Amino acid sequence: MNQTNRKAIMKNSLYIVIVGCGRLGSLLANRLSHSGHSIVVIDRDEATFNDLSSDYSGFRLEGDATQMAVLKMAKLKNADVLFAATHEDNVNLMVAQVAKKIFHVPHVLARVFDPRREQVFDQLGIETISPTSVAAEMFLMAVASGHEGGSGAPS
């Protein structure tokens, strides 16, 4: 366990940078801020910050996270976790790689919409979460369970 993590556990709070303040980014920012973590949310569009709840106590940073200057302003080198959650897979990949390789953030995750890109991300050592794949799995499970055990529809 590295220094950052040990410190994180000691203080019981993480420094988390979230790129993209859409539905997912804002949902995470609100929940993690509520849990007592220190959050910075970055988005190019200031209007997206309206989705942050009134008790969100983190920072809002308007800017393009593919620019080094913006990531430096977010103090990314101090971050315990980075989550790349914009709507563009390629932006998420770039930001995740910069966070990992240049700022040495210990825990980097990226959202990837296109399941065909997951393998590329994997090979580049980026942990991914694919809403498409997850939704597909959930649907397939629902079909399988309805198939075996009845659909729950009125007979």
Residue 125, both tokens:
């050592």
Q: Length of the chain in residues, anyone?
A: 155
Task: Name the residue nearer to a second copy (CB basis): 66 or 132.
Answer: 132
Report the half-sphere exposure of 54 (CA within 13 A, side-chain side): 0
Residue 50 binding a second copy, by CB under 8 A: no
Neighbours of 41 (CB within 10 A): 30
String of contacts with a second copy for each residue 114-153, x by CB under 8 A: xx-----------x-x-xxxxxx-xxx-xx--xxx-xxxx
Neighbours of 150 (CB within 10 A): 9
String of contacts with a second copy for each residue 61-100, x by CB under 8 A: -------------------xx-x-----------------
* Minimum CB distance to a second copy, residue 128 (Å): 10
Inter-residue contact 36 to 11 (CB < 8 Å): no
Task: Name the residue nearer to a second copy (CB basis): 32 or 98.
Answer: 32
